[in-house]
A and B are shown apart, each in its own frame.
Chain A
Amino acid sequence: MQAVTVDHIVKKYGSKKETVTALDDVSLEVAKGELFGVIGPDGAGKTSLFRILTTLLLADAGNAAVDGFDVVKQYKEIRNRIGYMPGKFSLYQDLSVEENLRFFATIFNTSIEENYDLIKEIYFQLEPFKTRRAGKLSGGMKQKLALCCALIHRPVVLFLDEPTTGVDAVSRKEFWEMLRNLKKQGISILVSTPYMDEAELCDRVALIQSGKIMSIDSPQSIIKQFTKKMWSVRSAEMFRLLNDLQQYSNTEKCYAFGEFHHLVLKNDAEGMDPVMHYLEHLSHHEIEMQVTQPNIEDCFIELMSQ
């Protein structure tokens, strides 16, 4: 039995005249104990998918099940065994760290003591501030507390909707380490994020765009599907370089990527020499060009343009 199965789910919003399709025939499966990422830009349908799976929304078509229970008919069963951390989850600002945690533990029919080992690693960082009001915590601390609250009842499946949005880079890294540790405890985790770099930390990812799933695979396989050579190019005048490369006859695609421009050629056989000549002819200097390993973001851009 899978932790999560999604079968041809469709979700539409709006009136009859004007409908927006948030999820368009989405199907996926998450295995038990898997750390599964749903990656996509804002408005791709991630939150809708999470809300359907957490029994908060009804789909217009299709079926879904969590831990073997149907999200519509057996929603009560699901609510007993999942953990959910919504996007923009802000806890109770006027309650202290400990009061928040104790409240959610009791609501889920358990106690902090009973499942302390599960949250120990995360909570020990918060313990020095346990009498502080949640509203006075930093963003990263808040997310950790929210994760503790979602975990305290030892859920079978954990749903995290954009848990790292608005959190600093160091806290993000720590957060993902925590998720990997939780995975070791046998908890299946579904996490959504708009950040491509986080995709590589998942076992498998689903790339989602405008309500459609473009690819579901392990990050490594998705990268392997990228068969063309990826070049990274830089010069002294980056902006002019981007324009020039986009106008080059053999360019299939070129876009800014960090301190380089990523370039894909229509015909890989030609190699880098003609490109170099072209650029030198346009009096670019300090040109650097080398083959680079495509990452998941490149694959996403590739998939988007198909």
Chain B
Amino acid sequence: MKQFLIFVQKEFYHIFRDRKSLLIIILMPIVQIILFGFALTNEIKDSDIAILDESKDVATVEIIHRLDASRYFNVARYLHSQADIEAAFKTGKIRLVVVFQNKFRENLLHANHAQVQLLADATDPNTATTVTNYATSIIRDYQNDLTANAPLPYQIEPQVRMLYNPQLKGAYTFVPGVMAMILIIISAMMTSVSIVREKEINTMEVLLVSPLKPLLFILSKAIPYMFLSLVNVSTILVVSVTLLEVPINGSLLLLMGEALLFITTAVSLGLMISNVTNSQQTAQMISLLGLMLPTLLLGGFMFPIESMPKPLQFMSNIVPSKWFFIIVKDVMIKGLGFKMIWKETLILFGMTLFFLTISFSKFKIRLA
């Protein structure tokens, strides 16, 4: 027990005396959350649009006003001829040009048919689609208001409700995503680097030639970083609740428990990495490339797994982050209880057990 305590104490000395690394560990989650929250967002907000209004009547003015008033668009300029359209797109700032035909209102009221053209900059296809969808729905709203007093004989009105995330906030997916990423990087990388450092400075030789048991060595390496990762989980939660207004709908205790399980998974991955590497740089590279990339690409929070080709979908199952991402989304956003996530928890638990077994059995009691 004394051996264990002094070893943990020693690890904390290493952590706290390396001020720069400590700062990075503490600040990284906050910076990431803020980056994803405010900068790297794929929501469309205040996109600049241009208007070519050849009609200039009550109807077009009303529609333009509605477009401008929505939080998606900002009418940046008015064009005067077809020739201006090309020039407007070339500035690169205009995402959408709305063209009203001549005698728009007249046609609408008397011929029951008026045309409006939406031209989108499709160099970024996703944005183009989203932007035209928003514009279409605003125009349709206007049409509905016009016909509200004289209902059509048959009308299907779809009622859409966005459950769990009515405002379609991106934060609802990336908070669980960033949590998975931060935990896997910090826990796995820190654990593997701290073990490999002992090899690099030759203290490992002395520790091996001592009565210290391998299990005790591994535990004393893992526990400080598990503690640090729990601190990170707390910062992420505090930042997301206060700054990003993402609520914790489920049980906080359950969420922390699942986080602890995932941290253990990450630490056991770190142990596995430390078994096969002898330099800190290699350990770092393996942790970054081997763990962060799969988390980003196959974890499900950047790219939806359902739309991947089958082999990749299959591969995503072996990425622990995927399961943790599902768990956090279910508990934090949907407010579900343990009953709904026991399967994912069990998978994660199995993986952890598997990794731990491998790293314990492969732990080298000698140098070669």
Binding site for B on A (CB under 8 A): 51, 54-58, 75-76, 79-80, 82, 84-95, 99, 102-104, 106-109, 149-150
Contact = CB atoms under 8 A, between A and B. Distances in A.
B7 interface: yes
B202 A107 contact: no
Contact of A79 (B10, B13, B211): B211
A240 to B, nearest CB: 46
A183 B366 CA distance: 28
Contacts of B211: 76, 79-80, 107-109
B203 interface: yes
A57 B208 CA distance: 11
A57 B365 CA distance: 10
A95 B3 CA distance: 17
A90 B210 contact: no
Contacts of B365: 75
A214 B78 CA distance: 97
B111 interface: no
Contacts of A57: 366-368
Given A51-B367, A54-B209, A106 B2 contact: yes
* Of A56, A80, A102, A149, most B-chain CB atoms within 10 Å: A56
A107 B368 contact: no
B6 A84 contact: no
B202 A108 contact: no
B10 A84 contact: no
B7 A107 contact: yes
B84 interface: no
B207 interface: yes
B57 to A, nearest CB: 76
Given A86-B202, A88-B202, A95-B13, A107 B212 contact: yes
B367 A102 contact: no
A87 B6 CA distance: 25
Given A57-B368, A58-B366, A91 B203 contact: yes
Given A94-B17, A95-B13, A56 B209 contact: yes
Contact of B206 (A80, A95, A102, A150): A150
B201 interface: yes
Nearest to B4: A106
B14 interface: yes
Contacts of B13: 94-95, 99
A80 B367 CA distance: 18
Interface of B: 2-3, 6-7, 10, 13-14, 17-18, 201-203, 205-212, 365-368
A55 B209 contact: yes
Given A84-B206, A85-B206, A107-B207, 16 more contacts: A55-B208, A56-B366, A76-B211, A79-B211, A84-B205, A84-B209, A86-B205, A86-B206, A88-B202, A91-B201, A94-B13, A103-B10, A104-B210, A107-B212, A108-B210, A109-B3
Nearest to B16: A94
Contacts of A87: 202
Contacts of B207: 107
B258 to A, nearest CB: 34
12 contacts: A56-B205, A57-B368, A58-B366, A84-B206, A88-B202, A91-B201, A91-B203, A95-B13, A102-B6, A108-B210, A108-B211, A109-B211
Nearest to A95: B13
Nearest to A149: B206
Contact of B6 (A94, A107, A150): A107
Contacts of B6: 102-103, 106-107
A79 B202 contact: no
A57 B6 CA distance: 28
A80 B211 CA distance: 5
A55 B366 contact: yes
Given A88-B202, A95-B10, A56 B210 contact: no
A223 B9 CA distance: 52
A235 B205 CA distance: 50
A51 B203 CA distance: 14
Nearest to A83: B209
A93 B206 CA distance: 15
A201 B207 CA distance: 30
A136 to B, nearest CB: 13
Contacts of A86: 202, 205-206
A109 B212 CA distance: 9
B54 to A, nearest CB: 74
Nearest to B200: A90
Contacts of B10: 92, 95, 99, 103
A106 B10 CA distance: 11
A92 B203 contact: yes
Contacts of A94: 13-14, 17-18
B202 A90 contact: yes
A124 to B, nearest CB: 23
A87 B207 CA distance: 14
A75 B18 CA distance: 35
A44 to B, nearest CB: 19
Contacts of B366: 55-58
Nearest to A106: B6
B209 A79 contact: yes
A225 B209 CA distance: 38
A150 B203 CA distance: 11
A145 to B, nearest CB: 13
B319 to A, nearest CB: 35
Contacts of A108: 210-211
Contacts of A95: 10, 13
Contacts of B17: 94
B264 to A, nearest CB: 25
A301 B182 CA distance: 61
Nearest to B2: A106
A206 B6 CA distance: 39
B201 A90 contact: yes
A92 B6 CA distance: 14
Nearest to A146: B206
A65 to B, nearest CB: 16
A56 B207 CA distance: 11
